[in-house]
Amino acid sequence: MARSNSLRLYVRQTLRVLYGIVEVFFHWLFGLVYGGSGKSMPPITDLLLLESASSIAYKIRTRKITSVQVLDSFIERIGEVNPLLNCVVADRFEQARKEARAADELIESGAIPTDKLAQEKPFLGVPFTTKDCIPVKGMIHSSGLVKRKNIIAAEDAKVVASLRRAGAIPIALTNVSELCMWWESANNVHGRSNNPYNTNHIVGGSSGGEGCAQAAAISAFGIGSDIGGSIRMPAFFNGVFGHKPSPGAVPNHGQYPEPVTDEQARFLGVGPLCRRAEDLLPLLKVIADPKLRLDEPVDIKKLRWFYQDTDGGSFFVSPVTQDIRALFGKIVAHLQKAHRIKMAKVSYKRFSKSGPMWFANMKSPNGPSFQEQLANLDGSINPWLELAKWTVRLSEHTFIGIMTCLAEKGGCSYGDEKYEYLVKERNEFRRELLDLLGDDGVLLYPTHPTAAPYHNEPLIKPFNFSYTAVVNVLGLPSTHCPMGLDKNGLPVGVQVIAAEGNDRLCLAVAGEIEKAFGGWVPPAIKA
């Protein structure tokens, strides 16, 4: 038995070393292919674009600026950066102008007092964007799938409708990965999006276009969805804030593809992306169920703080870079110096099973396969035929979409012994973390092990998304908090996790981290 265990350990260590060598080699190779610093987004010349959505809303309703003025500023910014970044895939500028004029007329009329406007329409006249898988009435609803490129949304998603009732104005849709199931935003409907800090790098997925849009300041705020990190990874790669809410707190209505099982519906969360932490709470109050108790005050000095800076060594997952691990030391030092808070380091071994737990818990007993979903639920594609067509550029599908079909039956099957084991591990891990967090605890954890990879590099490190995915299957809220740029000028940051229903703790910590470390780093500014 001892000899068998030693052999198993030797094999594991050897595989880990070999994978590390492969990863380093391909990173070097992609560096040759995409070498250089790439192109950076143009500097911001209109200082209005630097303001929070909350500040813009206040200035609109108090007549310091007009909604039309704000809208024109963002439209001009889209025209300036989108040819370089390709994050916006459809717009409704003319309809938005009509809605902006109506907002200005309502304010000018004085029919509703300013204080009442702040309560009933807190984002009156404020432009926002959302990803092309969350429907906006009258706009394309493709989710990056060629077979859906002519589908027009018949109604708003509930989250969009809530924002409209709060006075916000949708102005454009942003790019996604094909059917929102990959962490680089590229598809055969709209093409590929480029990172605003270096166009040779990815924007993440599947809300990658939205993360890019917020970093580039093309709307006041955005909405994304997240079933394995699709809000938080784009927020991380683009240096903005992104919140994945507690299960069921925000309606998933309209999201395509729809969750196949009740479990998947719990994993999926619709939430905000924004440049300023102060916008997270008011936006969540508009779109979320009141059960989140968002109005309850949070004293960060009374919170119990914990952190873990790696997953403990998952197979085929990149090690956390030193630039990212150093962030935790900075937070520890800040809390001690500023608030005399001692943050405790923890080490949960089950984080190393994050990827397998996510894949197992995403299995469905009889739901549509990915092959059927790629056919838009009208039959099924033949992945082998599509792979052959892809080699000669005749397939409607992306390489990763096809490979996802081929890999779908791998690993465990719903209900088998391995599945049951991983579901049990998830449940045990959830209990462990809930015991740790209680009603006043927060856990800081890497959002991703590396800064934004080169384009296509995720193909070599597909399981790196496990750092965010595990939070979905655990059913916990999480906020990504940007903490500046690494040595290569790419955004880095951490995610903060709390117990289910304690989203307000995540948001309060996001505000503290922004105050201490600056948050979003804008491009060069011309006054």
What's the pLDDT at 447? 98
Known catalytic membership, residue 230: yes
62 and 104 co-located in one domain: yes
Which one from 142, 207, 230, 478 is the annotated catalytic residue? 230
Can you give the residue range of the structural domain that contains 383?
368-409
Q: Look-up: residue for tokens 């800076």?
A: 309
Asked if the structure places residue 522 within a domain, the reply is no
420 and 401 co-located in one domain: no
274 and 374 co-located in one domain: no
389 and 288 co-located in one domain: no
Asked if the structure places residue 23 within a domain, the reply is yes
Distances (CA, A) of 337 to 305, 306, 333, 440: 15, 17, 6, 21
Asked if the structure places residue 290 within a domain, the reply is yes
Q: Residue 63 belongs to a domain with what CATH number?
A: 3.90.1300.10
For residue 256, give every residue at least 6 positions away whose Cβ sits within 8 Å of its Cβ, in sequence order, or none.
133, 135, 141, 143, 148
Number of compact structural domains in the chain: 3
Tokens standing for residue 270: 């619709």
265 and 392 co-located in one domain: no
Q: Look-up: residue for tokens 């108090």?
A: 62
Q: Kindly give the confidence (pLDDT) of every residue in the chain, 527 residues in length, as a single tens digit, with 9 standing for 90 and above.
A: 566 667 766 777 787 888 889 999 999 999 999 877 788 778 999 999 999 999 999 999 999 999 999 999 999 999 999 999 999 999 999 999 999 999 999 999 999 999 999 999 999 999 999 999 999 999 999 999 999 999 999 999 999 999 999 999 999 999 999 999 999 999 999 999 999 999 999 999 999 999 999 999 999 999 999 999 999 999 999 999 999 999 999 999 999 999 999 999 999 999 999 999 999 999 999 999 999 999 999 999 999 999 999 999 898 999 999 999 999 999 999 999 999 999 999 999 999 999 999 999 999 998 899 999 999 999 999 999 999 999 999 999 999 999 999 998 888 999 999 999 999 999 999 999 999 999 999 999 999 999 999 999 999 999 999 999 999 999 999 999 999 999 999 999 999 999 999 999 999 999 999 999 999 999 877 65
Encoded amino acid at 401, one letter: G
Tokens standing for residue 486: 């690494």
385 and 270 co-located in one domain: no
Known catalytic membership, residue 206: yes
Distances (CA, A) of 190 to 177, 276, 284, 349, 452: 10, 28, 29, 41, 21
Asked if the structure places residue 524 within a domain, the reply is no
Distances (CA, A) of 270 to 157, 283, 304, 356, 367: 11, 12, 27, 24, 22
Asked if the structure places residue 236 within a domain, the reply is yes
Asked if the structure places residue 335 within a domain, the reply is yes
Which one from 73, 206, 207, 225 is the annotated catalytic residue? 206
Asked if the structure places residue 396 within a domain, the reply is yes
Q: How far apart are CA 329 and CA 467, in angstroms?
A: 19
173 and 198 co-located in one domain: yes
Q: How far apart are CA 172 and CA 96, in angstroms?
A: 9
CA gyration radius, the chain: 22
Count other Cβ atoms within 10 Å, centred on residue 3. 7
Which one from 67, 73, 131, 193 is the annotated catalytic residue? 131
80 and 194 co-located in one domain: yes
Per DSSP (E only), the strands in 336-477 are 344-345, 441-446
Count other Cβ atoms within 10 Å, centred on residue 234. 38
299 and 317 co-located in one domain: yes
320 and 230 co-located in one domain: yes
6 and 63 co-located in one domain: no
Asked if the structure places residue 38 within a domain, the reply is no
215 and 320 co-located in one domain: yes
Count other Cβ atoms within 10 Å, centred on residue 355. 23
